[in-house]
Structure 1
Amino acid sequence: MLFPTHLLAAWLVGRASRLSTPWLVAGTAFPDVLDKPLATVGVTPLFHSVGHSALLVLVAVPLALSGRAGLSVAVGWAVHLLLDAVHVVVNGRPGDAVFLLWPAVVPTDPLALPPGSFFLYYLWSPSFFLEVGLWLGVAGLLVRRWRAGELPVMTERL
Structure 2
Amino acid sequence: MLFPTHLLAAAVLGRVSRLSPLWLVVGTALPDAVDKPLATVGVVDLYHSVGHSALLLAVAVPVALTGRTGLALAVGWGLHLLLDAVHVVVNGRPGDAVFLLWPVAVPADPLALPPGSFFLYYLGSPSFYLEAVFWLVVVGAALVEWYSGGTPLGERSG
Length-normalised TM-score, structure 2: 0.95
After TM superposition, the structure 1 = structure 2 runs for residues 121-140 of structure 1, keeping only pairs within 5 Å, are: 121-140=121-140
Task: After TM superposition, give the deviation of residue 11 of structure 1 in Å.
Answer: 0.2
Task: After TM superposition, give the deviation of residue 55 of structure 1 in Å.
Answer: 0.1
3-state DSSP of counterpart to 1:121: helix
For 2:141 and 2:16, the matched residues in 1 are separated by 14
For 1:20 and 1:137, the matched residues in 2 are separated by 22
Letter in 2 for 1:68: R
1:102 lines up with 2:95 in the alignment: no
For 1:74 and 1:2, the matched residues in 2 are separated by 20
Q: Deviations over 1:10-62 (max 9, x none)?
A: 10110011101111011000000000000000000000000000000000000
Task: After TM superposition, give the deviation of residue 120 of structure 1 in Å.
Answer: 0.1
Match in the other structure for 2:51: 51
For 2:69 and 2:21, the matched residues in 1 are separated by 9
Which of structures 1 and 2 has the bigger CA Rg? 1
Match in the other structure for 2:84: 84
1:25 lines up with 2:37 in the alignment: no
Match in the other structure for 2:118: 118
| Number of residue pairs the alignment of both structures matches | 152
Match in the other structure for 1:71: 71
Letter in 1 for 2:54: A
Letter in 1 for 2:105: V
Q: CA RMSD in A?
A: 0.8
Match in the other structure for 1:3: 3
1:142 lines up with 2:139 in the alignment: no
Q: Deviations over 1:70-117 (max 9, x none)?
A: 000000000000000000000000000000000000111101000000
For 1:139 and 1:26, the matched residues in 2 are separated by 21
For 1:13 and 1:141, the matched residues in 2 are separated by 14
Unaligned 5+ segments in structure 1 are 153-158
For 2:13 and 2:50, the matched residues in 1 are separated by 24
3-state DSSP of counterpart to 1:109: coil
For 2:135 and 2:29, the matched residues in 1 are separated by 18
